[in-house]
Amino acid sequence: MSFKAMLIAVVIAATQTVSADDDAPLVLYGAGSLKASLSDVVAAYEEATGHEVRTSFGPSGLMRQRIESGELAHVFASANMAHPEKLQADGRAGPVRLFARNKLCAIAQDDIEVTEDTLLEVILRPDVRLGTSTPGADPSGDYAWALFGKAESIRPGSRERLENKALKLTGGPTSRKPPEGRNQYAWVMDSDRADVFLTYCTNAVLARREMPSLQIVSIPAGIAVGADYGLTVLDGAPADAESLADFILAPEAQSILERYGFEPAAADS
C-alpha cells in the first residue's frame, strides 16, 4: 500500500472513531434519591435530543468513589454539594451547580404515636428503633447526623444518645439490598427493622405509595435539616454532557423534579 493510501485509510479510521464516540451514550451517575425523578428527566432529554443516556444510581458517596476508581461517568448528580466539590477539587470535574433541594422527614410504623411536636421525644425513647442511612457513604445519613447535632442544643445529651442508637440500615457498601422492584425504605419498614426512619421527604412519599400504612412526619423547625443537591460534568466528558447538565437545570426538568417533591434551585445556581 502506498503512503498516500495509508494516510487516507488512517483519516477514514479516525473519522469513524470520532463518529462512534459522538454516537456513544452519555453516562449519568446520580444519587439514589434521584432515581425516579432523573429517570423521567433523562427520558425527556432523550426525546428532545435523540441522544441516549445510560444511568446508574446509588448512595452519592459510593457513586463518587466509583468515579474515583475509574468508572466511566460524564455527569454526576449528588444529594449534596460536598461529593461533586471533592471531584472538582481533585481536578476530576468542572464547576458544581446547585440544581435541587430536598429535606428530611421521618417515616414511622402505624403503631407508633408520633407527631411533628413529639418527634424528638419519640426517637430518644430507648424502646424506639431509629433507622438512618449510612453517614459518609450516603448524604442522607450525614443529614440525619446534622439533625442529631441540632437536637443537642434543644436537649443536651441528645446527640450522643441518637448517634449511639441509630441503626445504619441503608446506603452503606454492605447494606442489605431490597428485592427487585421494592422501594428501599418501604421494604426496610415492612421488614420491621425500624420503628422510625429518617430519610428525604421525597423518599418518604415513594415509600408510602408502596406501604400506605406508613406515617410521614415532618421534622420540627428547631431540628429541621435541608439538603442541597449538586451537579457537575466530569473532565473529559463529550460536549453533549454539558447539554445534559444544562437540561437538568432548565424549566422542563425542574418541573419534573418539582413533581417528585424536590424544590427547584436552578435560579440559585
Residue 22 confidence (pLDDT) above 80: no
Alpha carbon distance 205, 104 (integer Å): 12
Instruction: Provide mean pLDDT across the span 62-71.
Output: 97
Inter-residue contact 93 to 169 (CB < 8 Å): no
Among 6-20, 33-47, 49-63, the range scoring the smallest mean pLDDT is 6-20
Could you say which architecture CATH assigns to the domain 3-101+227-268? 3-Layer(aba) Sandwich (3.40)
pTM of this prediction?
0.80
> How many other β-carbons are positioned within 10 Å of the β-carbon of residue 124?
16
Alpha carbon distance 227, 210 (integer Å): 24
Question: Which residues have CB under 8 Å from 49's CB, separation 6+?
Answer: 240, 243, 247
Grid coordinates representing 93 are 470535574
What percent of the chain has a predicted confidence (pLDDT) above 90? 88
Instruction: Provide mean pLDDT across the span 7-30.
Output: 57
Alpha carbon distance 175, 134 (integer Å): 9
pLDDT of residue 265: 77
Q: Where in the chain is the domain with CATH 3.40.190.10?
A: 3-101+227-268, 103-226
Distances (CA, A) of 126 to 78, 161, 164, 166: 33, 9, 11, 11
Which top CATH class is 103-226? alpha beta
Among 11-15, 77-81, 161-165, 184-188, the range scoring the smallest mean pLDDT is 11-15
Grid coordinates representing 45 are 432529554
Residue 23's pLDDT band, with cuts at 50, 70 and 90, is confident
Q: Strand pairing of 26-31 and 53-58? A: parallel
Q: Over the chain, what is the mean pLDDT?
A: 91
pLDDT of residue 55: 98
Inter-residue contact 197 to 185 (CB < 8 Å): yes
Residue 1's pLDDT band, with cuts at 50, 70 and 90, is very low
pLDDT of residue 21: 54
Q: What is the number of H-type helices and E-type strands within the chain?
A: 11, 10
Residue 2's pLDDT band, with cuts at 50, 70 and 90, is very low
Residue 213 confidence (pLDDT) above 60: yes
Distances (CA, A) of 237 to 147, 154, 215, 234: 36, 47, 43, 6
